[in-house]
Structure 1
Amino acid sequence: MQEIQTRDQDATGGRGRRGPRCVAIVGPFQSGKTTLLEAMLARAGAVSRQGSVGAGNSVGDASAEARAHRMTTEVNIGGAEFLGDAYTFVDCPGSVEFLSEMQPVLPVVDAAVVVWDGDDKKIPALQLVLHELEAQAVPRLLFLNKLDTLTRSIEEAIAALQPASAVPLLLRHMPLHRDGSPVGFIDLALERAFLYQDHAPSRSAEIPAEAAEEERAVRYAMLERLSEHDDRLMEELVEEIEPERERVFADLTHEMRDGLAVPVLIGSALNGHGVGRLMKALRHEVPDVAETARRLGLAAQGQPVAQVLKTLHTGQAGKLSVARVLDGVVQDGMSMMASSGQTARVSGLVRLMGMATQKVAEAIAGDVVGLGRLDAVATGDTLSLGKLPPTLVDLPSPRPVMALAIRARDRKDDVKLGTAVRKLADEDRSLALASDGGLILRGQGELHLRVAAERLASRFGIEVSAQPPQVGYRETIRKAVAAVRGRHKKQSGGHGQFGDVVVDIAPLPRGEGFVFEERIVGGAIPRQYISSVETGSQAALRKGPLGFPVVDVRVTLTDGSFHTVDSSDMAFQQAARIAMIDALPRCAPVLLEPVLAISIAAPTEATAKVNAIVSSRRGQILGFDARDGWPGWDVVEAQIPEAEMADLIIELRSVTAGVGTFEASFHHLAEFVGRDADQVVAARQAAV
């Protein structure tokens, strides 16, 4: 018992108080991440009582959108002190549509708590999170939550999850049951039992006699796993020598920090069960900011360096860049240079607790703070004092999987709509704004775009209407027509207008675009007007007989005439347009639809359903293969018409437990005929 007290009282090995540490809380949707954040803040005394997501009084999920949907839609930040150590907890969204919020956070945290509730349906989503943690080499442990509702043994749950993790899952706790309900657990490293008390520290107890034999077997399995990287421990196990307890703890710490194993702890965040032991594990075993800086390749020099993990626009308070200080001290009023080369002065320094902020004068290495009014700074930027910092984090740009054409319902909001959307995209890297005859908002799915629209209404007062964007249909010709004359003649007093051209029109192979040639002889048209004929021909191709831009056409100017006084550039442009408008309907016009090359990533068990979805959308399956670096996943290569893509991600996620995704790019234009094509043309002509 004395050893337990010593370990709990001095986690620093005699080095004194550690710098602030930062821990991400990650996991699938509805596994209890935000509830765990509330339980940890309450256990540390940072809040007077544990809040509830359902009751709407939690520190996390405090935005209007998060509470409306009862889910995390952006990162939530809360700070606490526990046994003399300072912590920042960053609760990350679990829905695949908001996972890009997690990507800038993970590189700068000291460790992550992965929350899972034992539901096999959430394993594919959990694999997305684990893969990201593995790629970033973030130390992590797993908190098996909702122990009171688990319907099978922990060993069975861990066995089901193991294929999703690239490294072994190492059980640290063994549950204790009474009448089929969990009443506590045995810490296999401490060899001590702990009995749950709702929303209070667990009560330490001796290991029950009836559980002693099972505890020895489960603990031996843990030690065997640890001995794979500790020869001395292996020798002690072979010789049946009881290893020193501190050596066991040292091995556990080493394996977690080096990514050799993922320790598994158990509990119930809703009831506050197991939360204290989780926080003590974080206190003893999570590295500090100096180790995180080394992982990022930053050599400590005592000069201010910070990494931006989130951007917020806070109304009248302006832009807030949430950053973790990795080295030195950042002070209010300090001029910081970003890795982009931009320099800005920090105007205000705040700590965050959910939606609340508190002003501070400075932040030391390890702190997570909001830096005010760094307008030129973006999420993912590295900041330093007085010199160009290295780029510590390379953030990939999220690929959009769904798009909506949006417009303000009230026309007076048209001007500020673009500015508001750009602010949202500054906060959320996975939102993108494009312009194609209107504003096109691209994002990660139906809910993601819906939340963006809700934020436009709640934060900027802009109600928008949305619909699928127009498909980029084109048309072309299948027959050549020769010697088409276009004459423009107008006389209205003074100088008139005169232009006269004769052109041949012919189709080109797909993808050739527009080609203009001239075979004028004898000065039938002066040289200065030939380029005008080309310009007029191109202008006529902007809308063909079917109502769409015309592509893959050759126009050859063969003859014409001019007037020495009345001819002009504009007159020859108009003459060319007349010739083209007359000729194109006689060239057997045909509709073209864009076809996209698409790579769909999905769990292997869903591949057959994915293939069926592609076929049902007039798609062509080119093949599939195992997804590199993703055990149990496939990549399906296909081509699908753009017209069939609008809600593809919704159907795809419905058959892949919410985790399927794709990347798409334009591949070619294909002839589109039949009843569906006729409907497209009729709709276009009706709209015009």
Structure 2
Amino acid sequence: MAGGRSTARCAVLVGPYTAGKTSLLEALLNAAGATPRKGKVTDGNTVGDASAEARARQMTVEVNVASCDYLGDRWTFLDCPGSVELGQEAMNTLMAADIAIVVAEPEPAKAVALTPILKFLDDWQIPHLVFVNKMDRANVRVRELLAAFQAVSNRPLVLRQVPIREGDSVTGFVDLVSERAWHYEPNKPSSLIEMPETVRERESEARRELLEALADFDDGLLEQLLEDREPARDEVYAQLTKDLRDDLIVPLLFGSAEQDHGIHRLFKALRHEAPPVEATAERLGIPADETLAATVVKTFHLAHTGRISLLRIWRGGLKEGATIGGERPSGLFRLQGGSSEKASEAGPGELIGLGRVDSLKTGDLVTSAGRVEESGLPWPEPLAPVYAMALEPAKREDEVKLTASIAKLIEEDASLSLEHDQDANELRLWGQGEIHLQIAVERLKSKYNVEVATRAPTPAYRETIRKGTEHHARHKRQTGGHGQFADIKVKIAPTGRGEGFQFHNKIVGGAVPKQFIPAVEHGIQDYAKRGPLGFPVVDFEVTLFDGQFHAVDSSEMAFRTAGRLAMSEGLPDCDPVLLEPICEVSVFVPSDFTNRVHGLISGRRGQILGFDAREGWAGWDEVKAHLPQAELLDLIVELRSLTQGVGSFTWRHDHLQELHGKLADKVVEQHRVEAAQ
């Protein structure tokens, strides 16, 4: 603690896949002396990405936690997955951030991939800066890069540095506030040099642009610029810090994590300009009158320690042996990549793991009184599911274990969800894409020893009839004792789409006793679960208008059987037809990709209903369409391929529509084959 304030802060690394976030984490930890050498993603020896799933894919699949000390300050870095399919991890983790570091590549064409990240940060008013990684490989002009990034940010972006170039290589930078020049040195801090004449004019111009951007938020600085007075350096630093902490501007810094270029400069910017934990707690509305206030940022299920709740402590502290919500944790743990070690206490600003407190859930506020279930604090909603797999345990005895294991996966990642479709008798796992669900399936095996077979889910096909008929059904069976007898006459007719099943009793004179009439209806419904084409029958009505019974041999079971018989014999004469589910879909894409989406929808038998600007998203469109449910199964895969990964959609069932021809024949035949297996 210094001056009554905590020096422990949290920075969250976010950015698109391949931007180099994990490499940047390695460089930061090494620069702080927390590791003797940097690991490499390709070598599988990084502090983060320790899980088998991450190492196999050479990509971050869940948030990595790592801490270090830099010039007397305690820092915790949270490295988030870059895949859009794992976006829930980043959204939840950012709720712990004092500042976010948006890691980007120096390629204007890839700027659109930053849109969802920057939009989330702007919506939640999370202070953030952009670190342009891989500048050692860049051959793009900074002006072009800045323009591309600004097009996807609602906040003004300001250059903190201009690069120094020698030929095609970036060899250093000039800091636009201090106006000092630095030369990159391989694997060590940059060295101070005289500002090259070749960069002086550009530096002067960029510095002026920086000051003008800051002056938009300070009248005193604006007055000095209008009078051509040079503001004091300390004043510029103070205004820059204030504007960043208030999420009014987004500074841009450059470097290369692999070469250690710009890492110490980034660290110093974080140290001087990132908000303290007290400011973040105030921004989030954390109660000021609590002696303890902490948020559950993430839930882990680790192999050796079991369930771990990762908390960001805003106020007060925790000590070993403390009781949380009436439960005593198995311990306090500090997480460092894939390892954990016990801790005796943790204070404001720190992130600490609580072992085996089952009542805690991600997003909960923890106070001295215990878990606050309805804290009123904002928390990101789970992402809407867009992709599903049907699961079946490899071993029948694992059925209960499977659902329990998936429940743990959902605790770790709220963008997963599980449903059981009774009509198809399928257990479906929903998520954000194919890779997302593949990772979940791999974790079921590696963490919980549950193997599953996967396949595409079955669309909710139905069938109906297009004409009516009358049918006479008789069920008669003689046995050694009482026999079985039931005789009914029914009219079968189609109804309007969406009207469902209707049963009418028109029996007069007791031709069928009242106590047997419900059994006829139940028999009809029994058969309607699987009609002539093999699917549930909808939108039809049956009228029972005559029949016979036997005083001894008639029974509810006999009349129920007669009801099934009437349907099985009568429905094939009613011109059965397949119905496929049609969904109303809203597709969200940058406007540059709207025409591609029109082609995508048309190619999937869709009907475009119209499009308009997406509310709250500058430069984006919302395309509405009707699309067969069967065409939604892998829609997200192609949509992301067409939109650099940023396209998304929501959907809901709208209506059923007749399906004819070869497509219908294929669906029916495939269903028959599967039913026979």
Q: What's the counterpart of residue 483 of structure 2?
A: 496
Per-residue displacement from partner, 1:556-603 (whole Å, max 9, x unpaired)? Answer: 111222233332222221111111111111111111111111111112
Q: What's the counterpart of residue 567 of structure 1?
A: 554
Q: What's the counterpart of residue 344 of structure 2?
A: 361
**3-state SS, counterpart of residue 170 of structure 2:** strand
Q: Distance in 1 between matches of 2:542 and 2:649?
A: 40
Q: Distance in 1 between matches of 2:277 and 2:487?
A: 77
Per-residue displacement from partner, 1:503-543 (whole Å, max 9, x unpaired)? Answer: 21111101111111101212222222221111111111011
Q: What's the counterpart of residue 301 of structure 1?
A: 289
Identify the match of residue 118 of structure 2 among 120, 130, 137.
Answer: 130
Identify the match of residue 517 of structure 1 among 488, 501, 504.
Answer: 504
**3-state SS, counterpart of residue 537 of structure 2:** coil
Comparing 267-276 and 643-652, the one that deviates more: 643-652
The Cα shift of 1:153 comes to: 1.8
**3-state SS, counterpart of residue 598 of structure 1:** strand
The Cα shift of 1:480 comes to: 1.3
Per-residue displacement from partner, 1:389-439 (whole Å, max 9, x unpaired)? Answer: 313233212111111112233445444222222222221111111222132
Structure 1 residues 18-167: aligned runs within 5 Å: 18-167=6-155
Identify the match of residue 588 of structure 1 among 562, 565, 575.
Answer: 575
Structure 1 residues 274-313: aligned runs within 5 Å: 274-313=262-301
User: In the alignment, is the contact (CA less than 8 A) between 2:287 and 2:293 conserved in 1?
Assistant: no
Q: Distance in 1 between matches of 2:450 and 2:652?
A: 32
Identity of aligned residues (%): 48
TM-score (norm 1): 0.94
Q: What's the counterpart of residue 598 of structure 2?
A: 611
Q: What's the counterpart of residue 639 of structure 2?
A: 652
Q: Distance in 2 between matches of 1:30 and 1:387?
A: 41
Structure 1 residues 541-560: aligned runs within 5 Å: 541-560=528-547
Q: Distance in 2 between matches of 1:444 and 1:557?
A: 49
Is 1:403 paired with 2:385?
A: no
Q: Distance in 2 between matches of 1:303 and 1:561?
A: 80
**3-state SS, counterpart of residue 38 of structure 2:** coil
Q: Distance in 2 between matches of 1:456 and 1:641?
A: 31
User: Where do 4+ consecutive residues of structure 1 move more than 4 Å?
Assistant: none
Q: Distance in 1 between matches of 2:278 and 2:409?
A: 33
The AA in structure 2 aligned to 1:126 is L
Q: Distance in 1 between matches of 2:240 and 2:233?
A: 11
TM-score (norm 2): 0.96
Comparing 144-153 and 487-496, the one that deviates more: 487-496
User: In the alignment, is the contact (CA less than 8 A) between 1:17 and 1:84 conserved in 2?
Assistant: no
The Cα shift of 1:485 comes to: 2.2
Q: Distance in 1 between matches of 2:220 and 2:582?
A: 62
The Cα shift of 1:204 comes to: 2.5
The Cα shift of 1:115 comes to: 0.8
Q: Distance in 1 between matches of 2:219 and 2:667?
A: 72
The Cα shift of 1:217 comes to: 2.3
Change over 3 Å in CA distance of 1:209–1:652 after alignment to 2: closer
The AA in structure 2 aligned to 1:532 is A
Structure 1 residues 403-552: aligned runs within 5 Å: 403-436=388-421, 437-482=425-470, 484-552=471-539
Identify the match of residue 246 of structure 1 among 234, 245, 249.
Answer: 234
Per-residue displacement from partner, 1:166-225 (whole Å, max 9, x unpaired)? Answer: 011100111122343222211111221222222222222343344334322221221111
Q: Distance in 1 between matches of 2:205 and 2:459?
A: 63
Comparing 319-328 and 613-622, the one that deviates more: 319-328
Identify the match of residue 564 of structure 2 among 568, 573, 577.
Answer: 577
The AA in structure 2 aligned to 1:295 is R
Per-residue displacement from partner, 1:1-26 (whole Å, max 9, x unpaired)? Answer: xxxxxxxxxxx9x8376331111011
Q: Distance in 1 between matches of 2:175 and 2:269?
A: 11
Q: Distance in 1 between matches of 2:68 and 2:560?
A: 72
The AA in structure 1 aligned to 2:412 is E
Change over 3 Å in CA distance of 1:73–1:387 after alignment to 2: closer
Q: Distance in 1 between matches of 2:277 and 2:511?
A: 80
Q: What's the counterpart of residue 216 of structure 1?
A: 204
Aligned residue pairs total: 670
Change over 3 Å in CA distance of 1:360–1:387 after alignment to 2: closer
The AA in structure 2 aligned to 1:562 is F
Identify the match of residue 353 of structure 2 among 359, 364, 370.
Answer: 370
The Cα shift of 1:493 comes to: 2.5
Identify the match of residue 175 of structure 1 among 156, 163, 184.
Answer: 163
Q: Distance in 1 between matches of 2:341 and 2:52?
A: 21
Identify the match of residue 364 of structure 2 among 372, 381, 386.
Answer: 381
Q: Distance in 1 between matches of 2:382 and 2:509?
A: 58
Q: Distance in 2 between matches of 1:464 and 1:405?
A: 10
User: In the alignment, is the contact (CA less than 8 A) between 1:308 and 1:378 conserved in 2?
Assistant: yes
User: In the alignment, is the contact (CA less than 8 A) between 1:335 and 1:386 conserved in 2?
Assistant: no
Identify the match of residue 661 of structure 1 among 620, 628, 648.
Answer: 648
Change over 3 Å in CA distance of 1:332–1:553 after alignment to 2: farther
**3-state SS, counterpart of residue 376 of structure 1:** coil
Structure 1 residues 188-337: aligned runs within 5 Å: 188-337=176-325
Per-residue displacement from partner, 1:655-685 (whole Å, max 9, x unpaired)? Answer: 1111111111111100111111112222223
User: In the alignment, is the contact (CA less than 8 A) between 1:290 and 1:300 conserved in 2?
Assistant: no
Q: Distance in 1 between matches of 2:661 and 2:502?
A: 29
Q: What's the counterpart of residue 9 of structure 1?
A: none
The AA in structure 2 aligned to 1:479 is K
The AA in structure 2 aligned to 1:393 is P
The Cα shift of 1:642 comes to: 1.2
Change over 3 Å in CA distance of 1:142–1:640 after alignment to 2: same
Q: Distance in 2 between matches of 1:287 and 1:447?
A: 35
Q: Distance in 2 between matches of 1:318 and 1:284?
A: 38
User: In the alignment, is the contact (CA less than 8 A) between 1:17 and 1:85 conserved in 2?
Assistant: no
Q: Distance in 2 between matches of 1:682 and 1:58?
A: 51
The AA in structure 2 aligned to 1:641 is P
**3-state SS, counterpart of residue 336 of structure 1:** coil
Q: Distance in 1 between matches of 2:482 and 2:291?
A: 75
Q: What's the counterpart of residue 393 of structure 1?
A: 378
User: In the alignment, is the contact (CA less than 8 A) between 1:96 and 1:125 conserved in 2?
Assistant: no
